[in-house]
Amino acid sequence: MLNIMLLLVLLTAASQNPATVDSVPQLSTKLALSQQSSSERSMLGEDKESLPIGEFHSMGDVTLYDDRESVVRKKGKPLSVNKNVYSGYTEYQYKDITVGLYEDMVYYVHIDASPEKIKVNGKWLVLHKQELKQAFGEPDFEAEDGDVYIRDLAAIKIYRDPATKAIVGVDLFDTIAF
């Protein structure tokens, strides 16, 4: 609804004062996506059981559309907060996950310590080869340290120990940020 109202305001302003396409303010992709409700996203076909997951938007109940306040509301007070002065990212450390924020918006969620299962888009997945293949399909990219699955503007990387191939961590991240 907010997107429609913003569009109408911009169109009204443009008709009174013609502007070039370059001069019309653009919502960031992240802001525009965060305006979609979860019901709008589910109407896009995310909930099909038999197909690989078509879109990644949450891991461990934290979405890539969350801001700092919603993370704290969902997860509580973090065990620690660390700011990387070089990248500008702030990490909120919780017992089960690490949430990376930039300008108070979530850009990645990380689970480490050899997880056995993860919660993606509200559904638990056991980290076994067959279940991953059913949930994600074939990896879009295979690296020495893990497999990457890309869906639109988000990706999941499953980190593996190069020697043992054991899973050592999982990231959900915004591909625009990296």
C-alpha closest to that of 168 among 112, 87, 121:
112
pLDDT beyond 80 at 43: no
Provide mean pLDDT across the span 160-170.
90
Query: What pLDDT shows up at residue 123?
Result: 92
> What pLDDT, in 10s, does the model give residues 56-69?
989 999 999 999 99
The amino acid occupying position 50 is S
C-alpha closest to that of 175 among 125, 140, 143, 145:
140
| Average pLDDT over all residues of the chain | 78
Query: What pLDDT shows up at residue 34?
Result: 46
Query: What pLDDT shows up at residue 51?
Result: 67
Burial of 70 per CB tally in 10 Å (0-12, 13-18, 19+)? middle
Q: Is 14 helix (H, G, I), strand (E, B) or coil?
A: helix
Global pTM value: 0.70
Which residue did the predictor score with more confidence, 124 or 6? 124
C-alpha closest to that of 30 among 121, 83, 136, 108:
108
Query: What pLDDT shows up at residue 94?
Result: 95
> What pLDDT, in 10s, does the model give residues 85-135?
998 999 999 998 999 999 999 999 999 877 789 999 999 999 988 899 999
How many whole angstroms separate alpha carbon 132 and alpha carbon 54? Answer: 13
Length, in residues, of the chain: 178
Query: What pLDDT shows up at residue 177?
Result: 72
How many whole angstroms separate alpha carbon 157 and alpha carbon 176? Answer: 15
Percent over 90 (pLDDT), the chain? 51
CB 39 within 8 A of CB 32: no
Q: Indicate the helix (H) or strand (E) that contains 114.
A: none
Lookup: tokens for 116: 């056995």
